[in-house]
A and B are shown apart, each in its own frame.
Chain A
Amino acid sequence: MAGVEMSVNLGGLQMKNPVTVASGTFAAGREYNDFFDIAQLGAITTKGVSLHGWEGNASPRMAETASGMLNSIGLQNPGVATLREKDLAWLESKDVPVVVNVSGHSFQEYVDVIEALESDTRVSAYEINISCPNVDAGGMTIGTDPTSVEEVVALCRKASKRPLIVKLSPNVTDICEIARAAESAGADALSLINTLLGMAINAKTSKPELARVVGGLSGPAVKPVALRMVWQVYQAVSVPLLGMGGISNGTDAIEFILAGATAVAVGTANFVNPCAALDVVHGIEAYCEEQGVADVNELRGALLC
């Protein structure tokens, strides 16, 4: 495998390979470390964290759908202090950059979370979650309005010197407009897509499958939508992109890179195959070797059309 240059720079976040995980599918990595050494990934993206703990939504919180799943977890998390005490302490023993996914119910809460982490050297970058569809305040309510996006990203920008990755919602009419708003407010990179708002109904009981009725769709079912959005946003902005949405193997990842992604994240596939993210690293490398690509960065946006 020697020979292929796999390292990428995602808006100042230096990664030894272009693969991380989608926030919320991997906790802080400890659970998956039973199956492979998670330090082999380009970065670990942690579960969304708020200032104080959130309980999350009622159950059922998950429903399987055709080639995918719906979730409505609702950003259940124990708060940023616990993230530091437990998760970052564990991750410190791993030689891998950590991207903390930052969530808030208000603009100020995003800033508060960043301020609680800004002096913590175990954090390499932030992913600003303005796209979770499962909360009533914050999340997607911010990320679907360009003015709010500009405002919250500008506040986060002021609060941090670290690379700022803004995670976009696909539940908008024009994702490029949102992408430009985030870029103009100081985002170093954009990640996309978060889940697509959806629902599932049990016809036998006439009830929704999720307690919250609606939830976020992920998995292979969303890949074509995600690819389209990465390709559109790649042409609309100049900051690098972290592509995600239904990536299960190296070929899927290559498709995102061809569409314009600098790096990729593996999400729902982790539930299917606990080694999926590592398999994606190896799959990208194997593709490059087969195609005679010396540096994975050569593939970015190399779509022929």
Chain B
Amino acid sequence: MGSVKRLEETTQIVSNIKAAENLYFIDVHSPQIAQALRPGQFIHMQIPGMPDKILRRPFSVYKTDAEAGTLCVLYQVVGAGTEHLSTLNAGERCSLIGPIGNAWAPPAGARCLLVGGGVGAAPLFMLAQELAQAAHGVHVVLGAQTKDALVALADYEALPHTTLSAATDDGSFGYAGFCTQPAQDAIDSGEYDYVAVCGPEPLIKIVSGLAQDAGLPCEVSLERRMACGIGACLSCVVDTVEGKKRCCVDGPIFKASEVVW
């Protein structure tokens, strides 16, 4: 998607809300990027107030509101950057680069199965929104450690024509165990033509393996450490059957069949 121009936009935080332990929704006013962003693309955020941590952080976008000019990121606190991000207040300004990367590309008319583990639920939501417009709808499998951590569940539940399956590690909601099981059940049902998966890499590996065993096209959204985020520095490469590709601009969505695990 190199032909699409990327923007740098100085944005204002609209809200930054804790949704569960270590999980937050941040809304930023970023009208140009929100307008242009397609499902699966991401932003590269400069988190203000961290003078000794100079690099931007890549975040997938959960949803956009073109009318309000906002975009929403679901993030998990995993390190110093996200820890600091969780302390920022509405009104603070930050610079975003976006939209970056390619978008999910299910075959036209495909019956789609979406599998999101943990915050992997986020980059699938805009795809689900699009697919839910079709009469045959979409099947979404979400997994998390606990019911409380299924913070995107309500938004997915509100979509039309959407079948939802959930799994929690502790059995507090839905299937007790990893979401690979409901994903396998759905794939085995033979009702789907395409699988999209995002989440921890072991989950991606397992689900994409199941999809490939069933002969289904599968796309995965990958994460790598990034520096520039725009395709120049070659920090974030992914090993593929065609050699090393840049996660940021050749991805973050890859065909499962091209990834060398």
Contact = CB atoms under 8 A, between A and B. Distances in A.
Contacts of A55: 243-244
Nearest to A35: B8
Nearest to A275: B8
How many A residues are at the interface, by size bracket?
20 to 34
Interface in B1-57: 2, 5-8, 46, 51-56
Contacts of B227: 62, 69, 71, 268, 271
A61 B54 contact: no
B230 A32 contact: yes
Interface stretch (A20-28, A180-188, A191-199, A255-263): A20-28
A272 B56 contact: yes
Contact of B234 (A34, A61, A274): A61
Contacts of A219: 54
A31 B53 contact: no
A244 to B, nearest CB: 16
A30 B228 CA distance: 13
B173 to A, nearest CB: 30
A67 B68 CA distance: 36
B90 interface: no
A272 B6 contact: no
B244 A76 contact: yes
B8 A25 contact: no
A190 to B, nearest CB: 24
Contacts of B6: 34-35
B14 to A, nearest CB: 23
Interface string A92-108: 00000000000000000
Given A71-B233, A76-B234, A271 B55 contact: yes
A139 B103 CA distance: 38
A272 B54 contact: yes
Nearest to A270: B228
A93 to B, nearest CB: 16
How many B residues are at the interface, by size bracket?
20 to 34
Given A71-B227, A272-B46, A31 B232 contact: yes
Contact of B235 (A32, A61, A66): A61
Nearest to A61: B235
A68 interface: yes
Nearest to B7: A34
B54 A220 contact: yes
Interface in A46-79: 55-56, 59-64, 66-69, 71, 73, 76
A62 B232 CA distance: 13
Given A34-B5, A34-B6, A63-B225, A274 B235 contact: no
Given A62-B227, A271-B227, A68 B54 contact: yes
Contacts of A24: 233
A273 to B, nearest CB: 8
Interface in A121-144: none
Contact of A56 (B52, B53, B95, B237): B237
Contacts of B229: 271
16 contacts: A26-B232, A35-B8, A59-B239, A64-B54, A64-B55, A66-B52, A67-B51, A69-B55, A73-B233, A268-B54, A268-B227, A271-B227, A273-B46, A274-B97, A274-B230, A275-B8
Interface of B: 2, 5-8, 46, 51-56, 95, 97, 224-239, 243-244, 249
Given A62-B233, A271-B229, 15 more contacts: A27-B231, A27-B233, A31-B228, A35-B6, A59-B224, A59-B238, A61-B236, A61-B237, A62-B236, A63-B225, A67-B52, A76-B244, A268-B227, A270-B232, A274-B228
Q: Which 9 A-B pairs have the closest CB atoms?
A: A62-B235, A27-B232, A31-B232, A271-B227, A271-B228, A31-B230, A34-B6, A31-B231, A67-B52
